Chain A
Amino acid sequence: MKVILQVITLLVIFLIPFASWQPVSAEEQTEKVEQKEEFDYKSAEFKGVASQFKCTCGCGQDHYECDPSTCNLTTEWKADFVEMMNKGMDKDEIRKYYVDIYGEEILTAPEKKGFSLTAWVTPFVVLAGAGSGVFFVIRRWVRRKNDNDTPTLMDENLTTDETENEILQSMIDEERKKFF
């Protein structure tokens, strides 16, 4: 019972930062902003569009992050995005428009089609393959153990009182050091 109370206390402490945080998502914030003004370069909708394209000024950032005060290039891009968004084009249409002109190189991430799809799926395919490998290896090792012997009472004791065993061992070591 005592431990449950302690865990509840821990949980409450954990939740305190969230309670005072009152997270507002970017979308909600954008709604508030857009009620007052037409447009904000840092709005969630604009972010969705502009962060798809990398800035070629050498800053290594996308057009959402790139600061227009130090990059003339991004100023024009940003203005074009706004114009297209005002025309009613969505982020996919805008992406397609630029990819048709500049190629896939202009994007900040590979497309999820054609050869570029391999960029996205390979890590998970490899992970799944390796995971299957690990499963079969463990199964083989477990079978080998089961073939050799059966669990003993000692095994069970080892698993249930592992912490106590370790503490006991450390205390024995401590006592031994006192005398030798």
Chain B
Amino acid sequence: MTSTPLLKLSGLSKSFGAARAVEPLDLTVQAGDFCAILGPSGCGKSTLLRMIAGFIEPSSGSIAIEGRDITALGPEKRPTNMVFQSYGLFPHLTVAENVGFGLALQKKSKDEVSRRTDEALRLVRLEAFSQRMIDRLSGGQQQRVALARALIMRPKILLLDEPLAALDLKLRHQMQEELRRIHQEIGGTFIFVTHDQSEAFALANLVAVMNQGRVEQIGSPAEVYLSPATLFVADFVGETSLLAGERRQGRVTLKAGPHFASAGRDGPVRAIVRPERVGLKSDGVPAVVTDAVFFGASLKVSLRLPSDETLILRSSEADAAARYRIGERLAVGWEDQQVIDAGPG
């Protein structure tokens, strides 16, 4: 393989009038990657995806696929295909005609179109529905048609815009499995946009977290989860607790009480504490249980600390429900907090 990345975004940005939707950003995606662009709504992630697809002209920067600059090309000339959030299926065509639409435009022979349509429908397990009209399909089936219609083009990059947002929970998990299976089966490169961190972690091997038009962190799911680069990432990814504190000469003192060694600049900091790292500790911080939610495999407990901050605890022990009753006073501690510099205030 060459060292040229499949997709390279350099200094890409977009402004709508005076409003910056996407700040200049760099992103590199290798062939075979399953990349998630993760962020809250309005963070610019859809704008970024639509720039890659060619529907939005960037204000600055460039997009290159396999080293070739495609910034100036329209969506019909790019080796990318998109699965739209609202699917955008053609209501006047059958399932098979929808899927074969792109190939028919290329004037491929009837045989090839129908062979590859069958293939694509088999991939998404819709062989039996090829002659149906679109309005007679369920939401999940329409989603698969949209997927097949894009995949049949054998795109260098498949773009998915909140692909599972319109589906109910069970169907969403099912489609996540399907997407993983299809990604492995065809070995393509997928980039998808989502606001759901669990979806991003379930599918992607590369996660780019966006906030207010900026990419805050790019990394593997584990990197993003375990060592968030910014406060926003820490807060957005996972159900971590952020505890305020102050660093003086290599030592951090939290408002809640604990202090520990931590090298870095003097000033206000936040300690990031993972819920699964919190437990009872006889000489720990006093805390009151304010809430306990049973999740089947684990119990999620909210604790109020002396500093009036909330600390989340997750326990999968069998007697957890009996131990963490609402109103109970306990002493808790944790290991492995991560410290991030916080701005004043």
Q: Do A and B come from one complex?
A: no
